[in-house]
Chain A
Amino acid sequence: MSPAIRKLLPYVNRYRRAFVLGFVCVVSTTTFQLLGPWVLKYAIDDLYRGVTQRKLILYAGLLVGVSLVRGLFLFLMRRIIIAASRDIEYDIRNDFFRRLEQQPLGYYQARRTGDLMSRATNDLNAVRMMIGPAVMYSASTILVFLVAIVLMVSIDLRLTLIALIPLPFVTISVRYFGTAIHKRFEQIQAQLSEVSAVVQEALSGVRVVRAYRQEAHETERFSRANQEYLRRNRVLIRLQGAFFPSMTLFLGFGSMLVLWLGSRDVIHGKITLGEFVAFNGYLVMLAWPMIAFGWVTNMLQRGLASWGRMLEVLEHQPAISDAGVTAAGRGAALDGAVEFHHLTFTYPGADRPVLADVSLRIEPGQTVAFVGGTGSGKSTLINLLPRMHEPPPGTVTIGGVDIREIPLERLRGAIGFVPQEPFLFSDTIGDNVAFGDRKKDTKEAKDTKERVSAAAAVARLDKDIADFPRGFETMVGERGITLSGGQKQRTALARAVMVDPKILILDDALSAVDTYTEEEILSRLRGVMRARTSILVSHRISTVRDADQIFVLDDGRVAERGTHAQLVGRDGLYAAMYKKQLLEEELQAS
């Protein structure tokens, strides 16, 4: 058994009762299915010899009775096995989501959302088809096949062997066509992505195409790709066109042989007419398993490949976890004293560090600011604090304890983070503000509304809310109101304030807010964040000028540090930035 399948067993095991019951149903339904022709056999033989009408009613009743019982088991079989496969799908999907929740930022940066989505949808579906329908059909076809042959042999061995003559042809051609069709199919899929690529290119470059009047040329290019797609499809059609009729042909030859030689046997008295009819009935039943064989193996193969792709996600151990937690970390006073000790940080796979030998200390209750150009390492630095990326051991401490020793839950609970491009969920504004709220589940929950309002007021979101038709109940996103950049940022700020953090981090979080409102927000924040630590990252001098300490980062190093007054006097990077912004303000005002 392949290791991949072994990893599927725990899921299946949970529903083993269903599967055992399901197999009992498969066996029963198959048995009763095979009884049908047997009843016919007696009926025909009796009719041939002449029989009473009472017996006819018995046979008719038997036929209905057998099919009723078979129907019941057929119903149960589908109900039990397919439902179990849905249960397993449910379990796997939950595990998939739970695993994704454990993966750190780096995991998502290295992968495309579309790829993860396709595993959660297409692959999961293929896996479900494998454990549901594929298992059910293969069990029932194998059974039908075996039992029908036994019954056929009991009628006549020679005739059975003759009837089975097409079998090798069927199997061989299923395999031959199966492989060939699969190959063509892949070629078609490849050409389809080629077609998509041409469309994508032409549509995303629509301005160039139009400006250089290339509409006809692009149409020609598309036409060529489309032609090739057509051509490959026609090759497949030829194969498919030959495949299904040849199945009919092979199976038909079987029937023909039985009809021909069987009638001769009846004439010679080797078998009865009833046996002859029953034999034909079984032959019809055999046709399906012979064809289904190829179909089911295909389903199994696809399911297995998909399961492998799902395992890649399910078994990927998260790079950032609570593995290093210590007693000291559990008990550490997260008072907001943050320290970086000779921190050098390189992204996995990169050849240059983004941060080089950064050492600094933030006292509890201080407001500090980081400034610097794009790529200077500001964002990386503050993302290390809530361990969105993993700092090297011992380089980042809070309250004197290495953050890697603090449980993630505790660490992140102490931090309110407002990212540069805030991500809001398609939910009400109120729920978005209360996103990180933990008091919801406790007895303090009743004042949630007030606390949401208070947090919104700090972020100056209150005025906007008042303008929304449904206030805090207004939906955000596709089916609701589309927020402006500034409104989004302020919602994200309110969300961070709401968790009542020991450390508040603003990653250039007010860039889309006008300076006047920003001033208001900062002054309100000062009230809320008294005795707590605030970390600001900004391009704007106006945002950082009142900070207790300002760090200027340049190419991953702390180039300058001090207060606004000190730095302006120094005539370095900070002073240059300051002058430039004064000019810009002037320009904006004109």
Chain B
Amino acid sequence: MSLHDDDVVGKAYDARLMRRLLEYLRPYSAPAALALAAIIANSMLQLAQPYLMKVAIDRYIPAGDLSGVNRIALWYVLILLTGFCLEFTQTWLLQNTGQRIMFDMRMQIYRHLQRLDLRFYDRNPVGRLMTRVTTDVDVINDLFTSGVVSVFGDVFTLAGIMIVMLTMNWKLALVAFAVLPLIVVVTQWFRRNVRESYRTVRRLIARINAYLQEHITGMPTVQLFRREARAFERFEAINQEHRVANVESIFYYAVFYPAIEIVGALAAALTIWYGGRSVLAGTLTLGSLVAFLLYSQRFFRPISDMSEKFNILQAAMASSERIFKLLDEPVSIESPAGTAKPSRRSATSEGTEREGGHIVFDHVWFAYNPTEAGEPDYVLRDVSFEVKPGERVGIVGATGAGKSTLINLLLRFYDVTRGRILVDGVDVREMDLAALRSLFSLVLQDVHLFTGTIAENIRLGAAEITDDRVRAAATAVHADAFVSRLPGAYAAPVAERGATLSVGQKQLLSFARALAFDPRILVLDEATSSVDTETEILIRDALHVLMSGRTTIAIAHRLSTIQDMDKILVLHKARLREMGTHQELLALRGLYYKLYQLQYKDQEGKDTKEAKDTKELTKELTKELLGSQNLP
């Protein structure tokens, strides 16, 4: 199940979703309750103004009581000030709570994302996940700040007005309420139609955008095949449909607002007619009539407001559905229950003899999509091998032979389909995840840098890696030289994705990172991208530093890197085909031999000088380049 339904236009109200949303309100029940109280109090206060008008007209104006009028004005000021405080409190509490809920929700989503396995990431592009964390959460915020909650206020205002009118004069109130069925009919008609046309418009705008997006990307093809005119015709057709659908939805709005006003005027007319008769008959005061008129004005505003909230509600429901779907995504790779978290190795372990680092692949089969029907598409078939502590192993093979998969399984990014992987005699599935991964340093082809300083990129979040260790690690892998030249050196900021650094520099930084963590096992996916000869030599030498005294598993693209490794595995079409040292494999005259020849030719074509005797030359050049720096 992938989270693909970005264009869902959900129901406007779904009790199940709403209950789950309200769960988020629980930690903030006190401020939320306070806000609700403020809303209720404020809507009650709104009722006071027409009443004051009534009192002025009935009691003080006919009597010419100036001090009474003054008192009324004073009350009015008091009500205004209280209203101001209440409204401020309400907005502040409500929006604050909304923001805190958003914060909690974002953290929850993010934490969940940090636990979901890589299979999930394979299925869901980063952009989509980002939308969940940002936009979708914001949409739900609207629900709290301007949607549902203000509907509460509206409902209370309505109820309050009805009660006051009924107590003032129930007969006149009932006459005025006679228009309510009309309101219900109009609102229902509007809601039904607007929902339909809202969906149509949404669907069409999605089509316009999809078409536009597709044609912007494919514009060269359109032009090469002279399809401009016809592509435009089709665009115009969808655009036209969109316009028609919109004009239709304008119709509903254009009818709705005046209709509500006319119903309101009808209520006013009934009040004047029936209330006027009562005034003449002496059963109603003139002030009450005026107050009635003012109340009925206030009565219809919330009703048209509430209909507008409809779209907000609908969008929020769709967003929350997507968010909950993500949160419900099961975490399939977890530490098994009952494994004690081992204490972190102390930072002083550097230099001491490393123990362990024994790896066994025992008849490992793996497919990225094992659940699909039929024979799974195995990327690894029955792969078995052993790496002894301190041994250095190279993996070679064509693209797609399954090399990277080996690494993914070893660090338990994925679980094996069949067979097992043992690290220091324990099945990786039975180890604490953090404990397992703390045994490794991983160096990937594409170096991933974070925004932050150079030092932060080397130590990442591990506070126990001191500045000295950062510097020592960088020096050991020859990164210190270029880092020192940066303005601010280790405190120099790394731009987004390391845009200001060269490919080689990024490589060296990732080496420094790997070394700083001082792992028992080094796992390396050698970069394919070509760098200039100088950097190449620095990288090669840094690699030696990195590998010394550690179990190393390296995916090699240049055979020159792994010639002196203890063992070389040759993967071909998902199977482990050959295994041995460089010389043994050459003697075999098999796959490795051919690969070697291929590379040799490649290098011959590129640079004859280098191909002659890479090792000798490297040593010479390294000395020359590194100059004063101490060579290990």
Contacts and interface: CB of A to CB of B under 8 A. Distances in A.
Given A36-B265, A59-B276, A97-B235, A237 B451 contact: no
A90 B224 CA distance: 27
B269 A60 contact: yes
Interface residues of B, number: 135
Interface string B36-76: 00000000000001001100110011001110011011001
B504 to A, nearest CB: 18
Contact of B107 (A71, A102, A226): A226
A393 B57 CA distance: 89
A101 B225 contact: no
A386 B220 CA distance: 10
B99 A587 contact: no
A70 interface: yes
B286 A203 contact: no
A213 B437 CA distance: 7
Contacts of B586: none
Contacts of A192: 134
Contacts of B411: 210-211
B240 A203 contact: no
A110 interface: no
A587 B591 contact: yes
A237 B221 contact: no
Contacts of B517: 212
A259 B81 CA distance: 16
Given A98-B232, A423-B217, A196 B130 contact: yes
Contacts of B269: 59-61, 63-64
A360 interface: no
Interface in B219-240: 219-228, 231-232, 235-236, 239-240
A356 interface: no
Contacts of B113: 203
Contacts of A218: 114, 461
B257 interface: yes
Interface string A413-424: 101010100110
A248 B83 contact: yes
A86 B219 contact: no
B444 A207 contact: yes
B250 A78 contact: yes
B250 A205 contact: no
Interface stretch (A42-50, A295-303, A445-453): A42-50
A204 B216 contact: no
B262 A68 contact: yes
Nearest to A440: B230
A444 to B, nearest CB: 17
A47 B276 contact: yes
Contacts of B133: 195-196, 199
Given A200-B130, A226-B103, A255 B448 contact: no
Interface string B99-124: 11011001100110111001001000
Given A203-B126, A205-B448, A587-B594, A79 B250 contact: yes
A490 to B, nearest CB: 16
A396 to B, nearest CB: 16
Nearest to B510: A208
A504 to B, nearest CB: 12
Interface string B272-299: 1100110110000010011001100100
B205 to A, nearest CB: 8
Given A230-B99, A237-B91, A413-B226, A266 B219 contact: no
A196 B134 contact: yes
A562 B585 CA distance: 39
A130 to B, nearest CB: 16
A222 B107 contact: yes
- Chain A interface extent, by class: 35 or more
A259 B591 contact: no
B221 A207 contact: no
B99 A234 contact: yes
Contact of A47 (B106, B289, B442, B450): B289
Q: Is the interface of B mostly helix, strand, loop or mixed?
A: helix
Contact of B276 (A43, A201, A252): A43
Given A60-B269, A86-B243, A220-B461, A117 B220 contact: no
Contacts of A98: 232
Contacts of A438: 226
A68 B129 CA distance: 51
Interface stretch (A154-162, A533-541, A577-585): A577-585
Interface string A429-443: 000000110100000
B114 A237 contact: no
A53 to B, nearest CB: 6
Interface in B75-99: 76-77, 80-81, 83-84, 87-88, 91-92, 95-96, 99
B114 to A, nearest CB: 4
A47 B280 contact: yes
B258 interface: yes
B220 A108 contact: yes
A173 interface: no
A252 B280 contact: no
A242 interface: yes
A253 B57 contact: no
B460 A217 contact: yes
**Among B133, B224, B293, B513, residue most surrounded by chain A Cβ atoms (within 10 Å):** B224
Interface string B588-603: 0011001101100110
B146 to A, nearest CB: 11
Interface of B: 49, 52-53, 56-57, 60-61, 64-66, 69-70, 72-73, 76-77, 80-81, 83-84, 87-88, 91-92, 95-96, 99-100, 102-103, 106-107, 110-111, 113-115, 118, 121, 126, 129-130, 133-134, 205, 208-210, 212-228, 231-232, 235-236, 239-240, 242-243, 246-247, 250-251, 253-255, 257-259, 261-262, 264-266, 268-270, 272-273, 276-277, 279-280, 286, 289-290, 293-294, 297, 398, 411, 413, 434, 437-438, 440-442, 444, 448, 450-451, 460-462, 496-497, 513, 517, 523, 572, 590-591, 594-595, 597-598, 601-602, 604-605
The 9 closest A-B pairs by CB, nearest first: A217-B461, A436-B225, A67-B265, A71-B258, A260-B73, A205-B448, A211-B442, A245-B87, A60-B269
Given A59-B269, A240-B95, 6 more contacts: A40-B293, A75-B258, A209-B114, A249-B84, A580-B605, A587-B594
